[in-house]
Amino acid sequence: METKECRHSLYIFVALTLILSSLAIFKYVSLHSTVCDLGIFLWVFYKMGVYGRWQLFSYGHLQPFLIPLYLFLKLFPSNLVPYIILFLQSALLSLPSIWLLRRYGYMALAGFVLYFPLWYNALNDFHMDHMVVPLLFGFFLLAEQKKIWLAVVCASCVAFVKEPFALQTAACGIYLMIASRKLLAGTFLFLFGILYFHAATRYMIPYFTTGSSFLDAPAFSWMGHGVGEKLLFIVKHPLTIISEIFSNTLKIKYLIVIFGALCFIPLSRPAMLIPAIPIIGIALLSRHDAYYSFTNHYTAGLIAPFIMAFIKGLPAAESLWEKMRLTKRMFMPLVLTILILGNIWFSPSFLYRYFWIPKHWERHFTAYIPTERDAIIKEAILSNIPSTPDILISTPNNINWDYLIYRRQFLVFPQGVMDTADEINPSEYSFHGLISFIMHGQQPQVNIEKLSADYAVIDSKRPYFVFDKGCQWHYGKCTDINMEERFLGLVRKAMERYDIIYEMDGLVILKRKTYD
């Protein structure tokens, strides 16, 4: 029986990896991925390899695992890098399926596979965040097996994924102290996580990038500057914090969805949710809606704690079901039904309701099918924009292709096309560190407002983006009038300043005017 389950777990791991990676890769091939963030990572690996800019492992976030990943990618041609990193991301996200089936059975596996954050982290481009999923599962499983110091190693590695996850490392220490009564190991993890987070945000990120911690961003500055001020604010103003959370319907929805998709069963095992508290806290205390949206990669740190709490909470939930004098044999089918409905309603998987309804440009099944128009766009770019690395291109966020990205510098439209602070104000937009590392990605340092693009690419038949900010694109139309007017106004100005060298079905390629 054990051999059969081992074999089945491997089959499921391979199948899940192939499904996730195929969807992610086809999304890239069909030009439905974005420059922010998959394109940024492609550019980082390119700059590391061609120009030796290894410091970019800390481009706004400290991500040390980028270095060994880059060394591995050096073994392959650069045109294969997008496919390799998307496959590796899918494989690492799928890896826990082996352990869960072998140790806990099919219901545990169903909870993991159907939980919507797994799919968003696999299909929302590429982010290093995915690495916390197998590492945190490893931490829980090793701690359960009393292999405490191996669990400590896994939790310590979580901090090296990205510096916000160092707070999860510290929370894992608290979990060991409370749930496993391992005071020494727990204290070590807690101190290591806190000290690493402090060193990363206070010293390492500013040293390498002249940037600052994500906690100093406008999303969190309402609580003060620096971690100390923010913690003091939380302690001194608890009512303000409560009001901040519960006066925002989207934050309430975030809480309902992340728990409700697992039937609220994780709430019955609160100790196992301790490592998830920093991620939930960041989401609820942020004033940047991306952090408390459940449709992005910021949910990666929730997957392992929530699924483990779901698994451990199932017996208690079943016992409560029996106490309510309900039929026992209906409990598991009902849980499975809710898991499936949660995936249909919230997940971007092939079960997703909008996968079959053409409302969302990036979620409908056509987003994963390369079309003749996609091929024409690529051919037009190849024919009209030289491959010379020094050529500067203003690329729209939603036309992400390695041919455009593999340059000494690249810009995101309308950067490089508009040339005054009145026309584009970088402080108006959040780039997740993009502007900072483009400005300082080469020597000498350059002023982003003075860069002038040689070429620009614009496509009015896909969602409008100004930098990394786009409008909701429903049934082929922008739903935000202000964003539409802003985008189309910038396009008109760009066409006045640049020569049109190619135009077809909404696609325009512009070249900077030259004067004799």
Instruction: List the chain domain ranges.
Output: 367-512
499 secondary structure, DSSP code: E
Token pair 């590392």 in the structure block, residue: 437
What are the CA-CA distances from residue 337 to residues 111, 251, 368 (Å)? 11, 25, 27
SS (H, E, C) 21-35: HHHHHHHHHCCCCCH
Mutual orientation of helices 132-144 and 96-104 as an angle, nearest 10°?
A: 30
Return d(Cα 58, Cα 61) in angstroms, integer. Answer: 5
Token pair 């490592």 in the structure block, residue: 275
Burial group, residue 194, by CB count within 10 angstroms (0-12, 13-18, 19+): middle
Return d(Cα 99, Cα 304) in angstroms, integer. Answer: 12
Angle at the Cα of 404 (from 400 to 405), degrees rounded to 5?
75
What are the CA-CA distances from residue 122 to residues 106, 107, 125 (Å)? 22, 21, 7
Return d(Cα 470, Cα 129) in angstroms, integer. Answer: 23
Return d(Cα 387, Cα 385) in angstroms, integer. Answer: 7
Token pair 């949910």 in the structure block, residue: 299
Burial group, residue 506, by CB count within 10 angstroms (0-12, 13-18, 19+): exposed
Within a 13 Å sphere around the CA of 421, how many CA atoms are in the beta-carbon half? 2
Contact between 376 and 459 under an 8 Å Cβ cutoff? The reply is no
Q: Output the pTM of the full model.
A: 0.91
Tens of pLDDT, residue by residue, the chain (516 residues)? 457 667 888 999 999 999 999 999 999 999 999 998 899 999 999 998 888 877 777 777 889 999 999 999 999 999 999 999 999 999 999 999 999 999 999 999 999 999 999 999 999 999 999 999 999 999 999 999 999 999 999 999 999 999 999 999 999 999 999 998 999 999 999 999 999 998 888 878 777 665 555 665 667 777 777 777 777 888 888 888 898 889 999 999 999 999 999 999 999 999 999 999 999 999 999 888 888 888 889 999 999 999 999 999 999 998 888 888 777 788 999 999 999 999 999 999 999 999 999 888 989 999 999 999 999 999 999 999 999 999 999 999 999 999 999 998 878 998 888 764 445 554 444 443 444 444 444 333 444 445 789 999 999 999 999 988 888 888 889 998 999 999 999 999 999 899 999 999 999 999 998 754
